[in-house]
């Protein structure tokens, strides 16, 4: 998995994931924590998963950890543009009840701007 910062504004960081998300991505810790400054977790982090066609259980656990880090810091994680197989996995696992998930970047930005309920943007 390759993460990159697409844009960073005060209180809003947009991240793109450029690969599948598997156990092999976490051998040296949390890649999102490595990429971002600690204060970024206190804002809104938009994570684009359009290029991630596969996610294993370690990847799901990683997303939960990132969600928790954001919540503890007073921020939030919004995941968007999910590839079909990953989306199916999220639905089976009930991730829509746990994570803030948006259909695309536009919907994610609306959630970020509204501070409202993410489930409305599905």
Angle at 63 between CA 1 and CA 78, to 5 degrees: 100
Number of H helices, E strands in the chain: 4, 5
- Identify the residue with better confidence: 122 or 23: 23
- Per the CB < 8 A criterion, the answer to whether 95 and 60 are in contact is yes
Domain ranges in the chain? 3-121
**What are the backbone angles phi and psi of residue 62, rounded to the nearest 5°?**
-60, -45
Q: What is the pLDDT of residues 50-83, one digit of tens each?
A: 999 999 999 999 999 999 999 999 999 999 999 9
Architecture of domain 3-121: 2-Layer Sandwich (3.30)
Of the pLDDT bands very low, low, confident and very high (cuts 50, 70, 90), residue 28 is confident
Q: What is the pLDDT of residues 102-121, one digit of tens each?
A: 999 999 999 999 864 444 44
Containing 101, the helix (H) or strand (E) segment is strand 100-102
Average pLDDT over residues 83-104: 96
């Amino acid at each position: 998995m390759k993460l990159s910062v697409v844009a960073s504004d005060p209180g809003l960081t947009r991240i793109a994931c450029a690969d599948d998300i598997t156990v092999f991505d976490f051998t040296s810790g949390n890649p999102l924590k490595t990429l971002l400054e600690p204060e970024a977790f206190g804002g809104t982090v938009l994570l684009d998963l359009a290029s991630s066609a596969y996610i294993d259980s370690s990847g799901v656990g990683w997303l939960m950890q990132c969600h928790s880090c954001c919540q503890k810091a007073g921020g939030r994680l919004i995941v968007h543009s999910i590839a079909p197989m990953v989306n199916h996995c999220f639905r089976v696992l009930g991730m829509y009840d746990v994570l803030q998930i948006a259909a695309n970047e536009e919907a994610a930005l609306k959630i970020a701007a509204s501070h409202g309920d993410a489930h409305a943007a599905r």
